[in-house]
Amino acid sequence: MNIRTIALPAVLILTAVLIPLCALAAPAPDVSDATADCLGCHEMTSPGIVADWRAGAHAATTPQKALEKEGNALMVSSDSVPDELKGVAVGCAECHTTAPDDHADTFDHNGYQVHMVVTPEDCAVCHAKERTQYKDNIMSHAYANLDENPLYQSFALAVNGRPTVKDDKLALSAASQATDAQSCYYCHGTKLEVTGTAARDTFMGEMDFPVIKGWPNNGVGRVNPDGSLGSCAACHTRHAFKISEARKPYTCKQCHDGPDVPAYKVYSTSKHGNIYSARNANWDFNAVPWTLGADFKAPTCAACHMSLLVSPDGQTIAERSHAVMDRLPWRILGLVYAHPQPKSPDTTKIRNADGQPLPTTLAGQPAAEFLIDKKTMDERKERMQATCRGCHATSWVDGHWSRFMDTIEATNESVAASTALMTRLWEQGRADPANIFDEYLEKVWTDTWFFYASHVRFTSAMAGGGDYGVFADGRYFFKQATTELAKEAGVETTSGQ
Amino acid sequence: MNIRTIALPAVLILTAVLIPLCALAAPAPDVSDATADCLGCHEMTSPGIVADWRAGAHAATTPQKALEKEGNALMVSSDSVPDELKGVAVGCAECHTTAPDDHADTFDHNGYQVHMVVTPEDCAVCHAKERTQYKDNIMSHAYANLDENPLYQSFALAVNGRPTVKDDKLALSAASQATDAQSCYYCHGTKLEVTGTAARDTFMGEMDFPVIKGWPNNGVGRVNPDGSLGSCAACHTRHAFKISEARKPYTCKQCHDGPDVPAYKVYSTSKHGNIYSARNANWDFNAVPWTLGADFKAPTCAACHMSLLVSPDGQTIAERSHAVMDRLPWRILGLVYAHPQPKSPDTTKIRNADGQPLPTTLAGQPAAEFLIDKKTMDERKERMQATCRGCHATSWVDGHWSRFMDTIEATNESVAASTALMTRLWEQGRADPANIFDEYLEKVWTDTWFFYASHVRFTSAMAGGGDYGVFADGRYFFKQATTELAKEAGVETTSGQ
Amino acid sequence: MNIRTIALPAVLILTAVLIPLCALAAPAPDVSDATADCLGCHEMTSPGIVADWRAGAHAATTPQKALEKEGNALMVSSDSVPDELKGVAVGCAECHTTAPDDHADTFDHNGYQVHMVVTPEDCAVCHAKERTQYKDNIMSHAYANLDENPLYQSFALAVNGRPTVKDDKLALSAASQATDAQSCYYCHGTKLEVTGTAARDTFMGEMDFPVIKGWPNNGVGRVNPDGSLGSCAACHTRHAFKISEARKPYTCKQCHDGPDVPAYKVYSTSKHGNIYSARNANWDFNAVPWTLGADFKAPTCAACHMSLLVSPDGQTIAERSHAVMDRLPWRILGLVYAHPQPKSPDTTKIRNADGQPLPTTLAGQPAAEFLIDKKTMDERKERMQATCRGCHATSWVDGHWSRFMDTIEATNESVAASTALMTRLWEQGRADPANIFDEYLEKVWTDTWFFYASHVRFTSAMAGGGDYGVFADGRYFFKQATTELAKEAGVETTSGQ
């Protein structure tokens, strides 16, 4: 046996094996002088933040290199990036010192004009298209859509209000800002306001830092010190900003796991979630574009709702969108009835036929002028179904969708029944509609549409069926709450074919 | 240093490292001409389906090669496989064109006689033994066991029925087929019926496809267009059919996560589930047979209930079975009292002493002639305990089992109490037993046995203890619902030693 | 091209690649003769146990080698280890035959004096410091802290008691030991008592084994046959005892997932849990010490509460502690009001101003003499916040903490309101305070503090916000239960600014 004849192919194979390993170890690009200054201290004082940043793409590449990608592989969507940023890693200073005059939380920090809160405008330096899409996204308006809706104020009082028992009354008064920041606004986003400056001892001596009311928060509709709306970090967690993380369902779970929006629970119990859980360790969550069938075998939240998807032969199946309603004709959560998505991401202007700030009346009539029309709904349905057809035959997709339509009709019908019972209780004086959310029976009614109809619709939308559609906060509990209202209203329940 | 003397062992080691890598890249076998024709279009029109199939064993081997495996490693259980199938991969045509005359959904598709719904009979060409076992499995009868049970019809009406409020009545009328297909029958299986043909535009021009009522569905007891019962794809997801997926608990979670059958929740919170979650990334879920201790360190659902298990020295610990009740003496879910498993998988014939289609009376008396006897129960217990003893000493197993027996007695006793209270409410006219499920108080009673007793029993059966046995829909809520019935019936609750 | 010049670097690189692989395959150390005897049979009769032990560190190293580690890498905390144990693997005999006279369950087994239940005293041979810390840990007293508290006895009766309906009464009598062992004591630990000996057929012929009441159990406060308290296996699962498993959140989930202590649910829905779930496959859970930023990017339960953490430059961020309250100033679960942690892990002595065995009165006044003072609380807060600051700026940590303080105040205030309503119901004769837990309305009151206040506090403590703070058993349900009590007490609910 001649060692040379064996060794050569072996070395070639070895090289093929080792090159990918070496590629992982490619040297990180230079950081700017400013970022080097940041790292000088923060490597020691904030080791976790620095280590996480080093683990991400921003530390491993430069805008210049990112701009060299082509077509569907391009991640930087701005037409150009300022020259001074192009050749260095996207480090501390690149994000925390952009446009200092625009940020009310900018402060002098060792000679740098640093702002604490990085906003979508900062990210837009490189990711302009995503920032524009997100602006049009209902999520970016999540703060005012609550805060400026009088019915929400009643609801918040009924949920978060401070209770006191006095003189035969249970009185609910306004909750603290801390309470609101930890409940609704945790996901919707707080309003950040710079209220002053505080001195703090550091290992560099006493230093001044801005005091920001509403901080910390990474809600999707956060009102920022530069006036922009939203936080990219809601889904793209600081400081690694890994696309792999945003594509996994745990990110969405943070705000879509509760009984009001049970998306994650339904997903994780669905066939899609089953396949994901069993097999995702072998999938590629970093590939851009994301190739259906090759990089992943079953969708995550991002795949159906946001991601740029291509087929193995490179055809685009779905365009990337940071306006999450682009593939959504119907709004099936959070409000009394399922209804077409609102036209504008700013929902504060909506008034129903009874003058209430709701997209339907309590009897179910849509406030049509504020909602998208059939043509827009059909376009969105087509975009969504295109992703379904990547893995399902048309007859499967059509059968699924017709059930979903049936569910929207059936759940709205069921909510009409529970609302009719609640109306009777109001008429009977069993509850006071001054605040339609704050008494026990009103909460049982709220359960019917806010929790149970939502579960039924999500299982239907996501083909989750089974448990969450029936017994796990689904139709069974929907009917239980409805019959409790009937019992209280003295309405007899009967059943028959 | 002489490079040759170093290089030779290095190359040998290298070879040892690379051979397994190469093995993974072994060339896929030929596909049949028919399958090649399918792939010609569907590679493009259904890229996800094709990619998933390519990722599975059916694309990577042939029946011929599979038949060469011996003993416990054999996966094909049919004595022989038709010659024309032996030498090619198990592709599209091999499953979707089998026995075309038997499938009512067979249609002409580009010259091929294709059926949409692949059934257990199709799988039985290679997997005859599993198909036979599954036929005897209560799961395969899951459709008729509901549909032909009059009490189930009352229950379905009470859960899924369409509610309307009129003339001081809350009336429940029959739900749509779409609603039923998305609730009970999502897991139990729908009845598939070919109702006609529809033309659809495709990129090949207009084509006809069968229209199938009840489609899509992959429930365990699906009634198929060829008259067979069940869907192998309920657990062996199309189109990769990975045994690794069926062995992981997420597959079972799809139908066993809700409050009626909280198996997954209890498992994931148990010590078994803890070990699985923490360590399964390093286990081998593809090995056949499955070696306890070597391939996995803690059981999944499949390990205890279905899988062929061997010890590291090759001894068989448990035989593979697709009749899931083979290791189950007791039925602890879904019915008013825990009771011995039914003798026949067809439970439609069961009548209790009061003539009701239930395996016990409402007072708890078993319909013994329809249920397995003590000898059969003991055999099944022994089969289950043999798997326990793979990792636990006998004293541990015995202690565990005696608690489980205590739980069956204690939960039945507790259900007897809540049923006694419900009976009193019926006698008092507080609810109408015409339909024993449709009114609020009846639902509170249903909660006691259908949800809470079930949680207590599952935690006991699976050594999950703790949360789901007490506070997470366990004994606490069981007692809360029972005392609500007592309060409504004017029955005083007292406690004492 | 000269093969030699290519081959040499290739071989060197190859060596670098293969050395870690070889390291994994380092030969296991010798086992003692006694352990070899155990393995002789148990390799066959308990293959899962043996395989799991072989997968752990105890089989892969010796105390001697472990003692050679230095500084923060040292895992053996005893100053010395008996000579006869030093040179062999920590096998069956090393743990199951230690100090046989101290163990009431020691029995003669093939000539060896074996005890079935391995206790903290056995582990303390090598891990003395952890054993001492754990002794001072409230968890080790978890059995008596329930069993010797009269109010707990009332609670247990109300939850676990056997119900019978007779003479217009729903009477609850004491539950079986099996029931208690599967509910509260599953996590808290049972009391193990050797009650006799039983003969059993084995493949070696008939053998005698001790019968132990309360067995099996691995609760944190188990009362052992040697009089010690606790089970190290509660978190360090037998028989691999992997530190990686104890550091993952699934271990804690076993007892901290229910509505009473919803830690895991809140964690898995938090940003920390999101990062963990998405990225942990690439983290190192075996490294000792555990380097923040390098070994892991987001904390698990262990990281914040117990683990020795160092920064990438080797600075200690937190000391290892097996007294889990060392970083906890507040007790936010399990009792009517949040309050400072108790001074002593033995809480049976605590009496409030009304003489009840509770750390506060039902009106909320703390039993201050039994609770830690402000200085101790501040020390513990500082220890916890030091871990936060590993990844978060001080302004972030301070903002988070001030919200947590607000939550403690707000939830206590809300519990005071629900308690005031319950008090009114007791005064109205609507419930009988003889047992304050056993009637329906009392359970609705219990829900308010035991479940809903707990969810709100855990989301606040763990920055989980969102779902579990509002709709998932949070503020919404807190208010729903409170208004149900108001409705029942004839107290009107009103809301306004």
For every one of its 497 residues, what pLDDT tens digit does chain C have, with 9 covering 90 and above?
Answer: 343 444 444 444 444 444 444 444 567 899 999 999 999 999 999 999 999 999 999 999 999 999 999 999 999 999 999 999 999 999 999 999 999 999 999 999 999 999 999 999 999 999 999 999 999 999 999 999 999 999 999 999 999 999 999 989 999 999 999 999 999 999 999 999 999 999 999 989 999 999 999 999 999 999 999 999 999 999 999 999 999 999 999 999 999 999 999 999 999 999 999 999 999 999 999 999 999 999 999 999 999 999 999 999 999 999 999 999 999 999 999 999 999 999 999 999 999 999 999 999 999 999 999 999 999 999 999 999 999 999 999 999 999 999 999 999 999 999 999 999 999 999 999 999 999 999 999 999 999 999 999 999 999 999 887 799 999 999 999 999 999 999 999 999 999 74
Which of B233, B474, B462, B446 lies closest to B328, judged by CA? B462
Chain B residue at shortest CA distance from C208: B395
pLDDT digit string, tens, across residues A158-214: 999 999 999 899 999 999 999 999 999 999 999 999 999 999 999 899 999 999 999
Q: By the 8 A CB rule, do C49 and C239 touch?
A: yes
Question: CA-CA distance, A228 to A470, in Å (whole number)?
Answer: 42
Distances (CA, A) of C437 to A114, B490, B493, C448: 56, 18, 11, 13
High-pLDDT (> 70) share of chain A, %: 95
Q: Of C13, C270, C414, which has the smallest distance from its Cβ to A163's Cβ?
A: C414
Kindly list the residues from chain A whose CB atom is less than 8 angstroms away from the CB atom of residue C271.
Answer: 218, 237, 254
Chain A residue at shortest CA distance from C472: A258
Q: Report the DSSP beta bridge partners of residue C205.
A: C202
Report DSSP letters for A245-281, one per residue. HHHSHHHHHTTS-SSSS-HHHHHHHSHHHHHHHHHGG
pLDDT at A304 over 70: yes
What is the token pair recorded at A266?
């339904």
Q: Do C259 and B311 lie within an 8 Å CB cutoff? A: no
Q: Of C10, C273, C475, which has the smallest distance from its Cβ to A183's Cβ?
A: C475
Q: What confidence score (pLDDT) does residue B137 get?
A: 94
Distances (CA, A) of B414 to A251, B474, B478, C133: 42, 12, 8, 42
Q: By the 8 A CB rule, do C462 and C403 touch?
A: no
Q: Is B87 an interface residue toward C (CB < 8 Å)? A: no
Q: By the 8 A CB rule, do C309 and C290 touch?
A: yes
Question: CA-CA distance, A18 to B221, in Å (whole number)?
Answer: 50
pLDDT at A6 over 70: no
pLDDT digit string, tens, across residues A84-121: 999 999 999 999 999 999 999 999 999 999 999 999 99
Question: CA-CA distance, B84 to C39, in Å (whole number)?
Answer: 51
Kindly calculate the radius of gyration of chain C based on its CA atoms and give it in whole angstroms.
26
Q: Of B181, B242, B257, which has the smallest distance from its Cβ to A403's Cβ?
A: B181
Q: Do A184 and C470 lie within an 8 Å CB cutoff? A: yes
Q: Is A104 an interface residue toward C (CB < 8 Å)? A: no
pLDDT at A11 over 70: no
DSSP secondary-structure letter at B240?
Answer: T
Question: CA-CA distance, C392 to B232, in Å (whole number)?
Answer: 50
Q: Do C258 and B467 lie within an 8 Å CB cutoff? A: yes
- For B:401-420, CB contacts with C below 8 A are 402-403, 406-407, 410, 413-414, 417-418, 420
Question: CA-CA distance, C232 to C245, in Å (whole number)?
Answer: 13
pLDDT digit string, tens, across residues B324-361: 999 999 999 999 999 999 999 999 999 999 999 999 99
pLDDT at A9 over 70: no
Q: Is C375 an interface residue toward B (CB < 8 Å)? A: no
Chain C residue at shortest CA distance from A177: C403
Q: Of B311, B459, B496, which has the smallest distance from its Cβ to C182's Cβ?
A: B459
Question: What single-letter amino acid sits at A296?
Answer: F
What is the token pair recorded at B34?
């028919």
b/e A419-458 (16+ beta carbons within 10 angstroms → b): bbbbbbbbeeebbeeebbbbbbbbbbbbbbbbbbbbbbbb
Interface test with A, best of C4, C441, C471, C482 (most A CBs within 10 A): C471
Q: By the 8 A CB rule, do C145 and C347 touch?
A: yes
Chain A residue at shortest CA distance from B216: A396
Question: CA-CA distance, A359 to A151, in Å (whole number)?
Answer: 12
Q: What confidence score (pLDDT) does residue C422 get?
A: 98
Chain C residue at shortest CA distance from B313: C44
What is the token pair recorded at A274?
């089953």
Q: By the 8 A CB rule, do C4 and A4 touch?
A: no
Question: CA-CA distance, B198 to B206, in Å (whole number)?
Answer: 10
Maximum separation of any 2 CA atoms in chain B, in Å? 101
Question: CA-CA distance, C476 to B456, in Å (whole number)?
Answer: 27
Interface test with C, best of A114, A169, A170 (most C CBs within 10 A): A170
Q: What confidence score (pLDDT) does residue A118 get?
A: 98
Q: What confidence score (pLDDT) does residue C463 get?
A: 87
DSSP secondary-structure letter at A429?
Answer: T
pLDDT digit string, tens, across residues B181-225: 999 999 999 999 999 999 999 989 999 999 999 999 999 999 999
H-state helical runs in A313-452:
374-389, 394-427, 440-446
Q: Which chains touch C (3 or more CB pairs under 8 A)?
A: A, B
H-state helical runs in C161-309:
177-182, 184-188, 243-247, 249-253, 263-269, 271-279, 301-305
Q: Of A163, A183, A212, which has the smallest distance from its Cβ to C482's Cβ?
A: A163
Q: By the 8 A CB rule, do C56 and C242 touch?
A: yes
Interface test with B, best of C179, C243, C446, C449 (most B CBs within 10 A): C179
Question: How high does pLDDT run on average in chain B?
Answer: 94
Q: Which chains touch B (3 or more CB pairs under 8 A)?
A: A, C
Question: CA-CA distance, C304 to C324, in Å (whole number)?
Answer: 10
pLDDT at B16 over 60: no
Phi and psi torsions of C118, nearest 5°: -80, 135
Which of C267, C385, C320, C331 lies closest to C138, judged by CA? C331
pLDDT range class, residue B424, cuts 50, 70, 90:
very high
Whether a cis peptide bond, with omega within 30° of 0, leads into C249 is: no
Kindly list the residues from chain C whose CB atom is less than 8 angstroms away from the CB atom of residue B402.
Answer: 178
Phi and psi torsions of A42, nearest 5°: -75, -20
Query: ipTM of this predicted complex?
Result: 0.94
Chain B residue at shortest CA distance from A393: B46
pLDDT digit string, tens, across residues A389-448: 999 999 999 999 999 999 999 999 999 999 999 999 999 999 999 999 999 999 999 999
- For B:9-48, CB contacts with C below 8 A are 10, 13-14, 17
Question: CA-CA distance, C227 to C224, in Å (whole number)?
Answer: 5
Q: Return the residue matching tokens 């149970």.
A: A452
pLDDT at B61 over 60: yes
Q: Do A400 and B440 lie within an 8 Å CB cutoff? A: no
Q: By the 8 A CB rule, do C166 and B486 touch?
A: no
Q: What confidence score (pLDDT) does residue A203 get?
A: 87
Q: What confidence score (pLDDT) does residue B26 get?
A: 64
pLDDT range class, residue B466, cuts 50, 70, 90:
confident
Give, for C201, the enclosing helix (H) or strand (E): strand C193-202
- For B:171-230, CB contacts with A below 8 A are 171-176, 178-179, 181-184, 186-187, 200, 209-212, 215-216, 218
Kindly list the residues from chain B whose CB atom is less than 8 angstroms away from the CB atom of residue A414.
Answer: 162-163
Q: Return the residue matching tokens 């299986």.
A: B189
Whether a cis peptide bond, with omega within 30° of 0, leads into B216 is: yes
Distances (CA, A) of A29 to A33, A49, A61, A63, A216: 13, 18, 6, 11, 31
Q: Do B175 and A410 lie within an 8 Å CB cutoff? A: yes
Bridge pairing between strands A106-109 and B112-115: unpaired
3-state SS assignment for residue B134: helix
Q: Of B183, B244, B450, which has the smallest distance from its Cβ to A469's Cβ?
A: B183
| CB-defined contacts A:C, below 8 A | 231
Q: Do C494 and A438 lie within an 8 Å CB cutoff? A: yes
Question: What single-letter amino acid sits at C200?
Answer: R
Give, for A154, the enclosing helix (H) or strand (E): helix A150-160
Q: What confidence score (pLDDT) does residue C15 get?
A: 43
pLDDT (mean) for B41-57: 96
Kindly list the residues from chain A whose CB atom is less than 8 angstroms away from the CB atom of residue C452.
Answer: none
Question: CA-CA distance, B317 to B389, in Å (whole number)?
Answer: 9
Question: CA-CA distance, B157 to B154, in Å (whole number)?
Answer: 5
pLDDT digit string, tens, across residues A34-69: 999 999 999 999 999 999 999 999 999 999 999 999
Q: What confidence score (pLDDT) does residue C496 get?
A: 79
Kindly list the residues from chain A whose CB atom is less than 8 angstroms away from the CB atom of residue C270.
Answer: 254
> How far, in whole angstroms, is CA A2 from its chain's centroid?
62
- For B:124-143, CB contacts with A below 8 A are none
Chain A residue at shortest CA distance from B261: A467
Kindly list the residues from chain A whose CB atom is less than 8 angstroms away from the CB atom of residue B441.
Answer: 487
Question: CA-CA distance, C393 to C403, in Å (whole number)?
Answer: 16
Chain C residue at shortest CA distance from B410: C162
CA dihedral (C159, C217, C240, C345) positive or negative: positive
Bridge pairing between strands C106-109 and C112-115: antiparallel
- For A:260-319, CB contacts with B below 8 A are 268-271, 273-275, 277-279, 281, 292-294, 297, 311-313, 315
Q: Which chains touch A (3 or more CB pairs under 8 A)?
A: B, C
Burial (Cβ within 10 Å: 0-12, 13-18, ≥19) of residue C118: buried
